A and B are shown apart, each in its own frame.
Chain A
Amino acid sequence: MRTLAPLVVGAGFIMALLFAIFASVFTPGFSLTPDPTAVSLFHKAPRHFEYSFEGPFGKYDHQQLQRGFQVYKEVCSNCHSLKLVTFADLKQIGYNEAEVKAIAKGWQIKQPTISNKDGSPTTRDNIPSDNFPLRYANDTEARSQNNGAVPPDLSLITKAREDGSNYVPSLVTGYTDFPAAQAAQFPDTRPDNNHYYNPYFSALNIAMPPPLKVDGLVSYKDGTVATREQMATDVGAFLTWAAEPKLEQRHHVGIASVIYLFIFAVLAYMSYRTIWGDKKH
């Protein structure tokens, strides 16, 4: 009896699975290859962009991060917040104390606070220790101003999307006309008036209007020519820093740790061989 028990239990599970297989295989319209969808055929993986922070020795290019910050400030921040980053963090990308103070003070969205007199809600200028203020008071306000879509906070965007550092610039430069091939095959997927076609976006139709429509949308302080590609790459680098500000420390400690552990491993192996000596094993 005890020897039969596993066979009976196993047969039970296997029968249930076999019935499940038969049920799905004999369902009308069963196919091993599911019908392609617009997304499965037309969605694109991000393009590759050259960044200085790639690879184990990668470091941020502070000039590029400052250019990217300028793009964020002048273009993205009109709709997107950056709530996990403080103004003082900008010192890490090469701005000095006075510049950070000026950036905080001049930031268009003010910091919410309460009036000293009667406690009523009011706003004040930002100071360096403040986080970047929220763009909208709440999601409802954000939706009402953006055709029903909430512009996501960008603090973690490059980590919150697959291959994010390449995704961001691919997306902002990726707007195209609705492809004829897709129109022929999936006429229902044509973007409506509130959406734009972008093959890098997961749903293909995105509510965000093309943010970098023309070259020279910003004029870079360091004289770099602000092509669309340049602006997109710079903002991709800046948002990578915003999401992963400790990358340089991480790489730095990582190199030292790996070298140390490698030497340690060689020594540990040698002591293992020495201790075992001629002992056959």
Chain B
Amino acid sequence: MSFPWAKHYEPKSDFMKWVDSRLPIPRFVYSAVGGGYPVPRNLNYFWNFGFMAGLALMIQIITGIVLAMHYDPSSAGAFLSVEHIMRDVNAGWFLRYAHANGASFFFIIIYLHIFRGLYYGSYKAPREVIWLIGVLIFLLMMATAFMGYALVWGQMSFWGARVITGFFSAIPFVGEPLRVWLLGGYAPDDATVNRFFALHYLLPFAILGVVILHIWALHIPGSSNPTGIEVKEEQDTVPFHPYYTAKDGFTVVLYLLIFAVVVFFLPNIMGDPDNYIAANPMSTPAHIAPEWYFCPFYAILRAFTFNFLWIDAKLWGVIAMFASIILLFFLPWMDASPVRSSGYRPLYKKFFWALVVDVIVLGVIGKLPPNQPFILIGQFAAIYYFAHFLIILPIVSRIEKPLPLPNSITEAVLAKHSSTSTLSGDLAAQPAE
């Protein structure tokens, strides 16, 4: 495990001694999220999103299991069973609104978590595997969310499922048979909703398993931190419990507070009204748009409108959309800078914020109808997206001259505080005699 000064579990009662010597789960928990996991002392609030994402996943699993008890995975019954949940099931309206908005909140947290990783270079050695597993979790989440949205079997569910599975038909030769195989028919129907339900129930547990790997991989080098320099000595760290359990506890309650405001007072704010119309294969909605969390990628898909190099525009779009996520797997090797934190990378920092703006622009464009000037804006935004990761980042990371790094985490912390206050508990603890 991580640091030599990490404390070891010592059972206090005879009972815990008995348990620990037979199945050392108490020891495992203590070293994972207890007093035995030393964490850099200088983490800011952006490091709280991992814990919140874990909570969001648990909320989805728990509400989802109860919803599944009342849901009917058939094309004739799905929409009606959702309304049955909303009207007849005890607290069904709460479960359903919590689950639907919980998905959006999960993505908000995950996007903040990902951008935290991008800003602070959390993907760099020795944490590449944590990042790779994280991208895998993101992909699994997208698949799960897509299938879950289809289960409502409203108009947007049906036509969204049709459009998204339609992407596969762009693949040469095997595309159309692949699409039919995925759907279990020529259009989304009973077979589709049934298999989506089975997979939508399965994948969250796959995500849970991969999350455990994510946390396991995290515990080998330990958490990164805002300075991006490694932990050197014990005073650079604090034990996870009680320090970060208390801090995460606060933001978890804050998360629940904001979540409650949306679930109880604005439950449909992130939904599309069309999805309160039952799926109708005979009537296409005027405007098909995915849920907001897919919009940046949907905008990239739609940006490709030209058959370039004998490749169909539609296939370009599909390749680019998948590539826009897959390229994140290569990020640790494309960024050559030895400095992690953007705080010491003045040039990269500017491009980072440009990327944030760019992804927001793509998200807005993905939601808007495909008219000019939005098509053109989307195309320029897509250019920046690829340019950022594949051209700017590799070049900037090689030519940039980073700012001088502090010698240690503690030095950085104390320097920050000496400029803002004169009182110093740490200096008082070790008086200069």
Contact = CB atoms under 8 A, between A and B. Distances in A.
A and B part of one assembly: yes
A156 B276 contact: yes
A186 to B, nearest CB: 18
Interface string A159-179: 111101000000000000000
A141 to B, nearest CB: 16
Contacts of B380: 21
B27 to A, nearest CB: 23
A18 B425 contact: no
Interface in B246-269: 246-247, 249-250, 252-254, 256-257, 260-261, 263-265, 267-268
Contacts of A202: 286
Nearest to B263: A254
Contact of A20 (B254, B313, B394): B313
Interface stretch (A6-14, A119-127, A206-214, A228-236): A6-14
A271 B264 contact: no
Interface string B403-414: 000000000011
Given A251-B264, A265-B253, A280-B41, A246 B86 contact: yes
Nearest to A258: B260
Given A20-B306, A258-B260, A249 B93 contact: yes
A15 interface: yes
Given A20-B379, A23-B305, A156-B83, A276 B246 contact: yes
B175 interface: no
A202 B286 CA distance: 9
Contact of A251 (B243, B265, B382): B265
Contacts of B413: 280-281
A17 B372 CA distance: 15
A32 B379 CA distance: 13
B267 A250 contact: yes
A246 B87 contact: yes
A268 B250 contact: yes
Interface in B87-104: 87, 93-94, 97
A169 to B, nearest CB: 17
A252 to B, nearest CB: 9
A280 B425 contact: yes
Contact of A32 (B97, B253, B376): B376
Contacts of B432: none
Interface in B41-81: 41-43, 80
A50 interface: no
A20 B43 contact: no
Interface string A137-162: 00000000000000010011001111
B304 interface: yes
A276 B286 contact: no
A272 B382 contact: no
Contacts of B260: 254, 257-258, 261
B424 A271 contact: no
Interface string A220-253: 0000000000000000000000010110011101
A195 to B, nearest CB: 17
Nearest to B426: A280
Contacts of B110: none
Nearest to A163: B273
A21 B379 CA distance: 7
Contacts of A56: 264-265
A101 B425 CA distance: 75
B243 A253 contact: no
Interface string B291-321: 0000000000001111011010100100010
A18 B376 CA distance: 10
B257 A262 contact: yes
Contacts of A7: 390-391, 394
A271 B246 contact: yes
A193 interface: no
Given A16-B309, A261-B257, A279-B243, A34 B334 contact: no
A241 B413 CA distance: 56
B354 to A, nearest CB: 15
B304 A278 contact: no
A13 B323 contact: yes
Contact of A254 (B265, B386, B416): B265
A57 to B, nearest CB: 10
A2 interface: yes
B347 interface: no
A24 B333 contact: no
A277 interface: yes
B425 A32 contact: no
A9 B387 CA distance: 10
Contact of A34 (B83, B86, B323, B371): B371
A277 B238 CA distance: 12
A84 B320 contact: no
A185 interface: no
B274 interface: yes
Given A6-B330, A6-B334, A262-B257, A281 B41 contact: yes
A281 B379 CA distance: 43
B383 interface: yes
B306 A277 contact: no
A9 B326 CA distance: 12
A156 B41 CA distance: 52
Given A13-B320, A250-B264, A262-B257, A6 B394 contact: yes
A254 B264 contact: yes
Interface of B: 41-43, 80, 83, 86-87, 93-94, 97, 238, 242-243, 246-247, 249-250, 252-254, 256-257, 260-261, 263-265, 267-268, 273-274, 276-277, 286, 303-306, 308-309, 311, 313, 316, 320, 323, 327, 330, 333-334, 336, 371-373, 375-376, 379-380, 382-383, 386-387, 389-391, 394, 413-414, 416-417, 423-426, 428
20 contacts: A6-B330, A6-B394, A7-B391, A9-B323, A10-B387, A10-B390, A13-B382, A16-B309, A17-B386, A18-B383, A24-B375, A30-B372, A32-B373, A84-B87, A160-B277, A262-B257, A264-B253, A268-B246, A280-B414, A280-B424
The 3 closest A-B pairs by CB, nearest first: A278-B425, A254-B264, A10-B390
